[in-house]
A and B are shown apart, each in its own frame.
Chain A
């Protein structure tokens, strides 16, 4: 059973702080890794994807991937109240169905003003 694990939270950080979201996955064949943000009652929206070990930065967001440890994280710098949402980690193994992203249950982030 391929699994993606996330701490459900809630993770609470003050405005302006760094929020750190973590994700582990069980399938060593996973090749690409995605972070989605989902507001309550809305569908997910892609924040970032990463497929190489190391860091990838995009504005206030940094994704970090460590394939040896089967670990991927998302850092949000200068957190804003509008960042409050559930963050879904997802992985894909292209050896399987193209669209068969495996999603974690998500971490709920709350940024306090």
Chain B
């Protein structure tokens, strides 16, 4: 089956630093990847849609200058949290869809960000 890999799985950083999270589709080409954020005991919230070769589409309330998304190839999308603050601490999950027929999303393993 389709596999989406995410790295790192866990990262701890100081406030004010930037953190990059990678999302790779391992056995299929993903023209579109999605970035979600999940706070404890909350649902997944879509942050942005990452489109290969073009600018990402951000959901309302998500700062595009703070959460930089780059989708440089058909198998890689990156999310950079710039000038991270403790309130950015969360579980960040990427996903990709292989096709439109079912809308089925394949999720990465998730990245737990802790900002001290």
Contact = CB atoms under 8 A, between A and B. Distances in A.
A29 interface: no
A78 interface: no
A98 B109 contact: no
Given A88-B43, A99-B34, A103-B44, A32 B102 contact: yes
Interface stretch (B12-20, B69-77, B82-90, B92-100): B92-100
B107 interface: yes
B110 A43 contact: yes
Nearest to A4: B43
B68 to A, nearest CB: 19
A99 B93 CA distance: 14
B54 interface: no
Contact of B103 (A4, A92, A106): A92
Given A42-B109, A99-B49, A99-B95, A105 B43 contact: yes
Question: Size range of the interface on A?
Answer: 20 to 34
Interface residues of B, number: 26
B103 A98 contact: yes
Nearest to B92: A43
B115 interface: no
Interface of B: 6, 32, 34, 41-46, 49, 57, 91, 93, 95, 97, 100, 102-110, 112
16 contacts: A34-B104, A41-B91, A42-B110, A43-B6, A43-B93, A43-B110, A46-B104, A46-B105, A49-B102, A88-B43, A92-B103, A94-B100, A98-B32, A99-B49, A99-B95, A105-B41
